[in-house]
A and B are shown apart, each in its own frame.
Chain A
């Protein structure tokens, strides 16, 4: 599904140039659950952002589903993104002015799904995330675990092929964190490819494969059994 080759990303300020990704090469197959680990500043988030087409690489190739996307413009990337990729963030990033239902509905609106179909699909996914009873609440009225479940519901409502999770349990206690990891595992078992950045060895154990980064390069790959 994903094939990156010699990917490079630099951050420049006036005086300093930092290499975030240094000729990184990796591959992720459809249906995999991959965890990316490494110390702060090793390039995990940069990688995730490039994979999610939120950012573009300076050098190298990125092939997504057989299409070279490394030098796509913003509009093309956005188009590919909204149909194929769902995001889950550490800080949930729900929109405060919208209710649970409306937050989850939003991606469907932007992909032009009809209103009746939207209601059906949002209800379906809220049900699956066991958050249906909170559908008319606003994010601030929910616990962290509930908010993250809404965020996951929002990420999957468009039935993306790939979910990118950036420390999805980072703001949660262990019990809620485990729930979230179970949810992601379920999604993966149903066929969704998942790439997750994490600091937690515990969370990483849910994945099939761990890629460890240091200074923008792969230093080790563990295959989980």
Chain B
């Protein structure tokens, strides 16, 4: 029986190549895009799940500051982990990770700059599923010189030689010996440290070898006695998943406040490992909304593709009426017919699925590049199969059940006599589907336009400083001590306009502190300052404005001078800031100037209070302003200077505007993805519309013929055919507008500085969709209208 169904289905496809092609094309494109997006979503949701303890691992953070300067700290102080393990019974184990940027590792004559290196506790290898495949799991770091690396790092360093026991040099003279190898991290691991050293070595380097002090008086004996260094990622493995995390947070806070009462209150936060990838420490969105948006858009695109199929097959079901009736008269039951049409859809679907798979394999590298992922169509991965099968079954069910029900429920007598014309309910249903399709497409178009506008707004925004033609690099080794020479050298080159330095990247934010005091500070104020270490010419270099007072002069007295921004003045509640006393950490001084507000982090955030301190010795970041045209010459000059101090270290520089753009990579990606989605949605929708218009023109051949004989003009007939569909598009526009406005408005809420969604966006999206739809319909309408009426009348 199934063979008979397949045979009929296959012949039907061959006989109606035009409609079959439209159906297969629409489904294929829908499946490719839908599946890619769902794979992406599945990958995002799978982060860190591979850890067998995942459900019981929590990351510890704290909340610092109040009001506008309130912020979440993901890293905490080192002793909390030790105390928690000893004092809190529900804590089974703890892991600290200290990552301090990049460092050169030398093996024989090869040097590797490792960005992904960290100091950690030995428990790192047992709390997480990063088990040693070489070395002693119970004792991965036998001594302070131990080093554990990943398989691929071992390959990079030592080729095919046995890595165990190999000696490498970290930095200039820190010897390390490989004692263990772990498997490479899965792509969906939040941890990607390829070179790991014992945290006891960090203690050794930071506290034993260099005597660490915060006030030039008391020396901190070890990291476990350091209650001020908020640099340690800390993870707790809990005894079971029933632990009350609120109570746990209170206990952690108590430990902190008992040991450093002056920090109180310092609320602690715990975040489940499984939420780390998509949520911020305080539980607010950190990517989850993008994931849900993508899941929704993926479903929208799949639904649009299904609608095409449903619409075309139900519209054309009239043509199958005779066959269905005969089958019924001969003895086919309703269920048998239902199965027959399901089989037919399934066959068409299989064809589309095969095309989709081939396309996916071909496009996978582009997709990975586009999405920044390394998804492989790994057929042994159960999750990928699950995702693919669920999508296929879901889409198949959505597109097959209704047409199969409709076709199998024909009454044979009526159908045979041709009395089943397009019954009213049917047409209404198809119209609703077309409206849905176009609403979805228009929503996506509006989304694309709004994201595009916001991105343009970001690019063109006056940030309060001049970022054009500026590049920066970080000094190393002795270069910092010889900055004045470096500066003079650079300025000799005509391509270099000016040079300055700062303690941090001006764009991406940096340290902040709540340890401060000023004249008249309210008792309940817990304001935090963003700290900017500056040289005397930093402010003129960036064309920032001083609205009150004066800039640093570069004299010794400047070490007790502060410049603050307008927000700080407001938040501190100062009427007349100049000359007021201010203490920031251990530094006491006076405010000498107010800098006009400028954006020193992303425009997602409101401008926070900032303080400039004259600290040339802490300024490692060099900024070079070039003429623009001669930028390459300026870079060459910087490189030459660099080599005099750091011959063995590669020279890394970045243009400020590029760094700025990188802050919005997520938004840019969203923008281009939405562009793609909107295009695909409209293409699939138009394919369906084209099919329907063709069908409609065919059905109306006789009507058109009669009208022409009676004297209707070509234009009249085109408008007759087009009007039917244009009404639907216009309804779609009105449905799409409020939905899109609501969705995009909530997307914009994520920005502290944003555009208003103007009516122009709606006009563009609506007008665009209308024009595209009109063009699609016209192709068929014109053809039908131009046909010879004699011929079309005869065809009935």
Q: Are the C-beta atoms of B330 and A110 separated by less than 8 Å? A: yes
Q: Which residue on chain B has the smallest CB distance to residue A158?
A: B331
What's the minimum C-beta distance from B676 to chain A, rounded to whole angstroms? 39
Task: Given the known inter-chain contacts A75-B333, A97-B12, A110-B331, please indicate yes or no for A55 contacting B413, CB distance below 8 A.
Answer: yes
Q: Are the C-beta atoms of A109 and B4 separated by less than 8 Å? A: yes
Q: Are the C-beta atoms of B330 and A97 separated by less than 8 Å? A: no
A110: chain B residues within 8 A (beta carbon): 327, 330-333, 336
Task: Given the known inter-chain contacts A96-B323, A97-B15, A111-B331, please indicate yes or no for A54 contacting B413, CB distance below 8 A.
Answer: yes
Q: Which residue on chain A has the smallest CB distance to residue B413?
A: A54
Could you give, for residues 378-420 of chain B, a 1 whenever the CB lies within 8 Å of some chain A CB and a 0 otherwise?
0000000000000000000000000000000000110010000
Q: Are the C-beta atoms of A95 and B7 separated by less than 8 Å? A: no
In the bound complex, how far is the Cα of B329 from the Cα of A158, in angstroms?
13
The residue that B413 contacts in the complex, of A49, A94, A98, with Cβ under 8 A, is A49
Q: Are the C-beta atoms of B413 and A109 separated by less than 8 Å? A: no
Within 8 A of A (CB), among B306-338: 322-323, 325-334, 336
Total count of chain A residues near the partner, CB < 8 A: 27
Task: Given the known inter-chain contacts A54-B412, A54-B413, please indicate yes or no for A154 contacting B323, CB distance below 8 A.
Answer: no
Q: A81 contacts the other chain (Cβ, under 8 Å)?
A: yes
Task: Given the known inter-chain contacts A75-B333, A110-B331, please indicate yes or no for A97 contacting B4, CB distance below 8 A.
Answer: no
Q: A106 contacts the other chain (Cβ, under 8 Å)?
A: yes
In the bound complex, how far is the Cα of B339 from the Cα of A109, in angstroms?
14
A49: chain B residues within 8 A (beta carbon): 413
A89: chain B residues within 8 A (beta carbon): 416
In the bound complex, how far is the Cα of B323 from the Cα of A94, in angstroms?
8
In the bound complex, how far is the Cα of B8 from the Cα of A102, in angstroms?
10
A93: chain B residues within 8 A (beta carbon): 322, 325-326, 416
Prevailing SS type, chain B contact patch: helix
Q: A145 contacts the other chain (Cβ, under 8 Å)?
A: no
In the bound complex, how far is the Cα of B331 from the Cα of A158, in angstroms?
11
Q: Which residue on chain A has the smallest CB distance to residue B323?
A: A95
Q: Are the C-beta atoms of A54 and B7 separated by less than 8 Å? A: no
Q: A107 contacts the other chain (Cβ, under 8 Å)?
A: yes
Q: A62 contacts the other chain (Cβ, under 8 Å)?
A: no
What's the minimum C-beta distance from A76 to chain B, rounded to whole angstroms? 11
In the bound complex, how far is the Cα of B8 from the Cα of A111, in angstroms?
18
Q: B1 contacts the other chain (Cβ, under 8 Å)?
A: yes
A94: chain B residues within 8 A (beta carbon): 326
Could you give, for residues 67-86 of chain A, a 1 whenever the CB lies within 8 Å of some chain B CB and a 0 otherwise?
00000001100100111000
Task: Given the known inter-chain contacts A54-B412, A54-B413, A96-B323, please indicate yes or no for A87 contacting B8, CB distance below 8 A.
Answer: no
B332: chain A residues within 8 A (beta carbon): 110
What's the minimum C-beta distance from B267 to chain A, rounded to whole angstroms? 70
Q: Are the C-beta atoms of B329 and A102 separated by less than 8 Å? A: no
A82: chain B residues within 8 A (beta carbon): 330-331
Could you give, for residues 2-40 of chain B, a 1 whenever the CB lies within 8 Å of some chain A CB and a 0 otherwise?
001001100110010000000000000000000000000
Q: Are the C-beta atoms of B413 and A107 separated by less than 8 Å? A: no
A54: chain B residues within 8 A (beta carbon): 329, 412-413
In the bound complex, how far is the Cα of B323 from the Cα of A87, in angstroms?
14
What's the minimum C-beta distance from A13 to chain B, rounded to whole angstroms? 13
B8: chain A residues within 8 A (beta carbon): 95, 97-98
Task: Given the known inter-chain contacts A54-B412, A97-B15, please indicate yes or no for A109 contacting B329, CB distance below 8 A.
Answer: no
The residue that B326 contacts in the complex, of A55, A81, A95, with Cβ under 8 A, is A95
Q: Which residue on chain B has the smallest CB distance to residue A151?
A: B326
Could you give, for residues 478-503 of chain B, a 1 whenever the CB lies within 8 Å of some chain A CB and a 0 otherwise?
00000000000000000000000000
Q: Are the C-beta atoms of B326 and A78 separated by less than 8 Å? A: no
B330: chain A residues within 8 A (beta carbon): 82, 87, 106-107, 110, 154
The residue that B327 contacts in the complex, of A81, A83, A95, A105, with Cβ under 8 A, is A95
A98: chain B residues within 8 A (beta carbon): 7-8, 11
B334: chain A residues within 8 A (beta carbon): 74-75
Which of A49, A52, A109, A111 lies at the interface centre, i.e. has the most chain B CB atoms within 10 A of its CB?
A: A109
Within 8 A of A (CB), among B148-192: none
Which of B1, B8, B326 lies at the interface centre, i.e. has the most chain A CB atoms within 10 A of its CB?
A: B326
Q: Are the C-beta atoms of B333 and A78 separated by less than 8 Å? A: yes
In the bound complex, how far is the Cα of B325 from the Cα of A49, in angstroms?
13
Q: Are the C-beta atoms of B329 and A81 separated by less than 8 Å? A: yes
Q: Which residue on chain B has the smallest CB distance to residue A96?
A: B323
What's the minimum C-beta distance from B423 to chain A, rounded to whole angstroms? 15
Q: Are the C-beta atoms of A87 and B331 separated by less than 8 Å? A: no
Q: Are the C-beta atoms of A107 and B331 separated by less than 8 Å? A: yes
The residue that B323 contacts in the complex, of A52, A55, A75, A97, with Cβ under 8 A, is A97
In the bound complex, how far is the Cα of B330 from the Cα of A55, in angstroms?
14
What's the minimum C-beta distance from A100 to chain B, rounded to whole angstroms? 14
In the bound complex, how far is the Cα of B322 from the Cα of A87, in angstroms?
14
Q: Which residue on chain A has the smallest CB distance to residue B326?
A: A93
The residue that A81 contacts in the complex, of B1, B331, B416, with Cβ under 8 A, is B331
What's the minimum C-beta distance from A116 to chain B, rounded to whole angstroms? 14
Q: Are the C-beta atoms of B12 and A78 separated by less than 8 Å? A: no
A74: chain B residues within 8 A (beta carbon): 334
Could you give, for residues 322-362 of chain B, a 1 whenever the CB lies within 8 Å of some chain A CB and a 0 otherwise?
11011111111110100000000000000000000000000
Q: Which residue on chain B has the smallest CB distance to residue A92?
A: B326
Q: Which residue on chain A has the smallest CB distance to residue B333?
A: A78
In the bound complex, how far is the Cα of B323 from the Cα of A111, in angstroms?
18
Q: Are the C-beta atoms of A78 and B328 separated by less than 8 Å? A: yes
In the bound complex, how far is the Cα of B328 from the Cα of A94, in angstroms?
13
In the bound complex, how far is the Cα of B11 from the Cα of A102, in angstroms?
13
In the bound complex, how far is the Cα of B334 from the Cα of A82, in angstroms?
13
The residue that A97 contacts in the complex, of B1, B11, B325, with Cβ under 8 A, is B11
In the bound complex, how far is the Cα of B786 from the Cα of A58, in angstroms?
49
In the bound complex, how far is the Cα of B328 from the Cα of A87, in angstroms?
12
Q: Which residue on chain A has the smallest CB distance to residue B332?
A: A110
Could you give, for residues 138-155 of chain A, a 1 whenever the CB lies within 8 Å of some chain B CB and a 0 otherwise?
000000000000000010
16 contacts between A and B (CB under 8 A): A74-B334, A75-B333, A78-B328, A78-B331, A82-B330, A87-B329, A93-B325, A96-B323, A97-B323, A102-B4, A106-B330, A107-B330, A109-B1, A109-B4, A110-B336, A158-B331
> Can you name 6 extra interface pairs (CB under 8 A) apart from A49-B413, A52-B329, A102-B7?
A75-B334, A87-B329, A93-B325, A93-B326, A96-B323, A97-B323
The 3 closest A-B CB pairs, nearest first, are A82-B331, A110-B331, A97-B11
Interfacial residues, chain B to chain A (CB-CB below 8 A): 1, 4, 7-8, 11-12, 15, 322-323, 325-334, 336, 412-413, 416
